[in-house]
Chains A and B, each alone.
Chain A
Amino acid sequence: MWRRPFLWLILAVSLAFVLVPYLTDDVQLREGLLLAAVYVILASSLNLMIGYAGYVNFGNIVFFGLGGYVCVFLVSEWHWPLVPSAILAGVAVSAVALLFGLGILRLRGAFFALATIGINEAVRQLVTNFEPWGGATGIYLSFDAYEPLGGPMQALWTSYFLVVGVMALSLLASFAIKRSKFGLGLIAIGQNEDAAATLGVPTPRYKALVYSASAFLPAVAGGIYFFKSGIIEPGAAFNLGLSIEAIVMVMLGGQGTVIGPAVGAFLYEELRGALLVAEAFSNFQLVIAGVLLLVIVLFVPGGLMGFVHRRWPKARSWLE
């Protein structure tokens, strides 16, 4: 497997993410890359559902938010260290996802999409009413929560490296799944679920597994991200807008490919970030983003990778 050039690509990109800001000590770049990495994680995991299995998870952000809450709660109230908290957050949220999945994975198409929105909103309201998690106020991390990691400055760097690690994991996982029997089954489901079932693919089990799997890394990422932000509250944690942006990223880069969502996430983040700080556009950045999205959907639905694969078919082998 190590002979696959694509794996080296993932490694190279991750190394670049780690080394460039560190060696140049460019904190601002690091901040931008951290956001990009978080988006890559969200988009890659979402891609498992949308690109492989063909199920549009509109409310995918619920995993990110719940993971954030579990991790921040553990760090803030029970004074756990960051890494175990984040991992436990991932495990817990995946388990909950499995439960949700059992309920809603029987639905198809738009119904499934709507159900995921319903879940996101219901969870958000539940958390808003849940006092141990701060209710509507949320949880604020006091600055001494960063002491175990060496103070806020250090903690921000550590969080960054951790997120880059998770990003590499998400790309590797996406790749490994695609190449496995599991992945093959998923793609069959995505093409034609009934045919796949007839041909012996255990569709209910696979769907539940992928739904749960697509929750794990976003939950971990959420934990680290909200730890670094210092505050988590229901509105920010279960932000439907971000959920939809994740879908846009998957589309932009090319759903169903491994690197597509990552490229899409990176491009999208850079574009939005640039629009925000460019003096000329600031008032209309929402409008511009909307127009761009429309253009992509209407004219380039295969996304960037779709375009690349079509133009340079040989690249398919090393640009998955």
Chain B
Amino acid sequence: MRGRPLLFTSYEADQALMPTTTKKVALTVFLIALVLVPVYDVIPLAPDFLSKDDWLKVLTNVMIFAIGALGLNILTGLAGQVSLGHAFFMGLGAYTAAALGAPEGPLVGLGLPIWIWLPAAAVVPALVGVLVGPTAVRVRGLYLAIVTLGLVFIGEYVFRNAESWTGGSQSGRTFPRFQFRLWKEEEPLIDFSRKGTWFGIELSNEAKTYILLLGLVIVATLIAKNLQRTRVGRAFQAIRDRDIAAEVMGVDEVRYKLLAFGISSAFAGVSGALLASFVGRTIPERWDLLLSVQFIAIILIGGAGTVTGTLMGSLFVIALPRVVQDFTGWLSDKIAAGEGIVAKVGDFFIATSGDDFGIVNTLPGTGPGLSVFQLNLVLYGLLIIVFLIFEPLGLYGIWLRVRNYWKGWPFTY
């Protein structure tokens, strides 16, 4: 009905992913803005710095982590199963991809094309996740966290010792590049790893990889978002809320918990394969507990249980170090130029010389306060705690508050 956007007159309309016109329009605009990021330098009024190769790499990294985080969100946020084992499944996906997709050589590699190794990187961890499932089905909460923690350590040991697959501890191996071939040809059909020209626009390899990942993350988001409104998704939510009550109502607990582990491991596997290929070379120690914790941080800061929250969380956590670094650099520029209130306020926080007072220093050497890198580490921990204490719904919760405030403005009360 016109003028009444929230009045739904059919089941399909109610369950639609984009129920209102505002959402449809906003999403379309946002997607177009995302696709155009690599060419922001030729669009007036757009932030040019985003189209530089290094920022494109940051954004691509954000998207890779977003795919993995969406998987963990399904497991933890939707189905309520705590899991610290995400890093293990990522490693599994990465080495599956390497074993299938890397060129033949001293280490295991079959040289198969991307349309085989990427789906395989989803399937193999999913199967392993389902194998692990029955152990996890018996326990809940803290104990489940410890069971999945064990997975990470088993993984570390296995990856370290499976030298012909992983290259061995501290040495590592190279991973297949982002190149689309039909079957083992010399020249790939589409090569994302070298610069080239698409539709008449000259793009660097970073830009092409960004577009590839954008496509993949859109697909992943669609799957994750859609899952919430299917029968499986509803079963997950029932299990999350009260698994015994769900069982009583006829939701097969074992089946759906196994499914949750399988689906989340598939996402993790794809994310791991993409991460390893994106960096190009990585060591088995990469898939450690800290990586799992990073994903937990992403979904907690973003807002557990929501897809939008997960995406916001990935952007926040992965781009944060770079933002802090750039911001302190910009601030110290302003202080050096000495103009205005920004300089004066900034001077309090930043130490520009050995005798200056500051919480952060930007000196080429040891100085008072923290270095930018230490600041990043501190902020990371601090933010997780702050969000848990003050905003359990995470960034999504903050977004909701802001949106609701402006929806009713000026009659917000």
Q: Do A and B bind each other?
A: no
Chain B interface residues toward A at CB < 8 A: none
